[in-house]
């Protein structure tokens, strides 16, 4: 019997766990290690952040779900990886620290035959002084708890506006190297919708601030989309949405410091600016969770397994190149680590080989450009592919059997721009492939028959339905494996 250990139970880790439990749970041991007892459908946190959903609607307990497929769950955080074992362990193992109340702070070791690193990101609020809900002056929708606090503060602002006060809302990215602008993009539109529903929109100033070179970059180097039979670019698409809703925007911005009611930021041209606010939700940059690695002699080999940002290196080309020389072929396909064939990294936990958006720096040397997104659909696709490979390797396959290159996969995004059964809207966008392929698609880098965008009420219905479909699937309800990931 082999043991497969999965570190993390986000979208990617939970996907891998679901399928491995279904396929091999009765023949082999599958263990999931996650510091949180609950699973969170993160895309719906923005609705918690405006009071349209509760925490209970976007989370559920993991342990009872895993019991259905013979997967063991341990509520703990991973501290270190020991891929060669050591004097006490003949087999590779990980060190964990329990976070559940009964064993909080206790450490343990877990041996493995295969390891999947799905630890996701560290929400690096500390990269910008004053950023974040714990020690800073901005709110967040990155976790259900953050989103609840964001809604509480939002409702206070709305009540003040009903009494005649004017308020400035600033939403976007809190650092020059942020990724995953999607949550902020959805949140600012839902604030706009909430203010209109409350009858106070004319007293609110809404400002978008982002590290994107232009609106609609999304960390993918921009995108051209087919809309209404015509090809347009993401910049025009995104700008039109903001103009229609009387929003302002600031791009090419690195938020350098936040004080009570004041955001300090630097633009790509080097100029320094300040922006007053009453309410601000800024997404933090991501970093690796801080996993360490040690060899059989307990010497630190972290830099051999992980990139400087803390994400795990896999089968990608990490050799330095000029931005123009990168291609889709440099991106990982199997997510297997080069040195240890029984270790994989999936979802946000793997280190991208290079940005998709061109790296830009201000005259002072500050990078102001998005890092590559790899959340949502790509994370699930990667998680399932690695689960398939491990299943087959357990049956004797000498190497991974399935691939999931972001240069060969598409992604769909349904971004809420207002939650209401009759007056809600959402922007629906598909992109293929995620990493541009100018060899195959020389004009735009993507297949324009599969890359398109629309906005309307139907998109809102779709997002709402998908919320319930993915919660149903994640809970392993009847027929879950037949639903798309």
Confidence of residue 409 (pLDDT cuts 50, 70, 90): very high
Q: What is the pLDDT of residues 329-355, one digit of tens each?
A: 999 999 999 999 999 999 999 999 999
Query: How many CB atoms sit inside 10 A of residue 186's CB?
Result: 29
Q: What is the pLDDT of residues 361-379, one digit of tens each?
A: 999 999 999 999 888 899 9
Question: Mean pLDDT of all residues in the chain?
Answer: 95
Return the DSSP state at 213: S
Confidence of residue 303 (pLDDT cuts 50, 70, 90): very high
Give the integer Cα–Cα distance in Å for 435 and 354: 11
- Contact between residue 415 and residue 425 where contact means Cβ atoms under 8 Å apart: no
Residue 296 has pLDDT above 90, yes or no: yes
Best CA proximity match to 24, nearest among 2, 55, 50, 46? 2
- What mean pLDDT do residues 165-183 have? 95
Give the integer Cα–Cα distance in Å for 217 and 219: 5
Best CA proximity match to 350, nearest among 366, 373, 321? 373
- pLDDT of the residue at 230: 81
Tokens found for residue 249: 């925007």
* SS3 label, residue 166: coil
Q: Which residue has the higher pLDDT, 187 or 323?
A: 187
Q: Give Dmax (Cα) for the chain.
A: 70
- pLDDT of the residue at 228: 77
- pLDDT of the residue at 373: 87
Confidence of residue 223 (pLDDT cuts 50, 70, 90): confident
- Contact between residue 409 and residue 431 where contact means Cβ atoms under 8 Å apart: no
For 414, the enclosing helix (H) or strand (E) is strand 411-416
- What mean pLDDT do residues 453-478 have? 95
Confidence of residue 485 (pLDDT cuts 50, 70, 90): confident
Strand-pairing partners, residue 77, are 97
Confidence of residue 471 (pLDDT cuts 50, 70, 90): very high
Distances (CA, A) of 54 to 43, 49, 51: 13, 9, 7
Give the integer Cα–Cα distance in Å for 86 and 298: 7
Residue 9 has pLDDT above 80, yes or no: yes
Tokens found for residue 392: 């087959």
Q: What percent of the chain has pLDDT over 90?
A: 90
Provide the CB-side half-sphere exposure for 281 (13 A, CA): 29
- pLDDT of the residue at 226: 84
- pLDDT of the residue at 306: 98
Best CA proximity match to 298, nearest among 8, 95, 6, 34? 95
- pLDDT of the residue at 376: 85
Q: Which domains occur in the chain, in start order? A: 3-122+286-394 (3.50.50.60), 125-285+409-482 (3.50.50.100)
- Contact between residue 293 and residue 81 where contact means Cβ atoms under 8 Å apart: yes
- What mean pLDDT do residues 124-130 have? 97
Give the integer Cα–Cα distance in Å for 287 and 331: 19
């Amino acid at each position: 019997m082999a043991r497969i250990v999965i570190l993390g139970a986000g979208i990617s880790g939970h996907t891998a766990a679901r399928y491995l439990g279904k396929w091999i749970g009765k023949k082999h041991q599958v263990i999931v290690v996650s510091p949180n007892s609950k699973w969170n459908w993160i895309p719906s946190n923005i609705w918690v952040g405006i009071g349209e959903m509760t925490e209970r609607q976007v989370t559920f307990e993991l342990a009872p779900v895993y019991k259905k497929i013979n997967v063991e769950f341990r509520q703990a955080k991973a501290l270190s990886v020991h891929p060669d074992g050591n004097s006490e362990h003949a087999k590779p193992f990980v060190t964990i620290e329990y976070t559940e109340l009964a064993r909080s702070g206790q450490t343990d070791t877990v041996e493995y035959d295969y390891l999947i690193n799905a630890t996701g990101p560290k929400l690096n609020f500390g990269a910008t002084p004053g950023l974040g809900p714990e020690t800073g002056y901005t709110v967040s929708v990155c976790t259900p708890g953050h989103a609840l606090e964001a809604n509480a503060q939002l409702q206070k602002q709305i009540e003040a506006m009903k009494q005649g006060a004017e308020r400035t809302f600033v939403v976007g990215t809190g650092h020059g190297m942020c990724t995953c602008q999607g949550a902020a993009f959805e949140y600012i539109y839902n604030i706009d919708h909430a203010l209109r529903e409350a009858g106070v929109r004319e007293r609110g100033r809404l400002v978008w601030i982002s590290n994107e070179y232009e609106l609609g970059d999304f960390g993918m180097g921009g995108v051209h989309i087919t809309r209404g039979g015509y090809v347009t670019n993401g910049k025009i698409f995104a700008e039109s949405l903001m103009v229609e809703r009387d929003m302002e925007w600031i791009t090419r911005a690195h938020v350098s410091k936040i004080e009570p009611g004041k955001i300090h930021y630097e633009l790509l041209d080097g100029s320094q600016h300040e922006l007053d606010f009453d309410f601000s939700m800024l997404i933090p940059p991501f970093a690796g969770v801080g996993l360490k690695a040690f060899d059989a002699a307990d010497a630190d080999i972290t830099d051999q397994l992980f990139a400087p940002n803390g994400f795990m290196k896999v089968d990608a080309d990490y050799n330095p190149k000029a931005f123009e020389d990168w291609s889709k072929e440099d991106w990982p396909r199997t997510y297997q680590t080069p040195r240890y064939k029984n270790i994989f990294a999936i979802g946000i936990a793997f280190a991208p080989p290079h940005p998709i958006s061109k790296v830009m720096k201000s005259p002072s040397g500050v990078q102001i450009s998005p890092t590559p997104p790899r959340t949502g659909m790509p994370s699930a696709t990667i998680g399932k592919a690695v689960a398939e490979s491990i299943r087959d390797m357990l049956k004797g396959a000498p190497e991974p059997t399935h691939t999931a290159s972001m240069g060969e996969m598409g992604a769909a995004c349904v971004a809420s721009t207002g939650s209401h059964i009759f007056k809600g809207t959402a922007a629906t966008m598909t992109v293929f492939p995620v990493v541009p392929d100018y060899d195959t698609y020389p004009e735009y880098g993507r297949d324009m028959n599969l890359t398109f965008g629309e906005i309307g009420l139907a998109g809102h219905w779709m997002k709402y339905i998908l919320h319930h479909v993915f919660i149903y699937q994640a809970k392993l309800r009847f027929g879950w494996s037949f639903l798309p990931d």
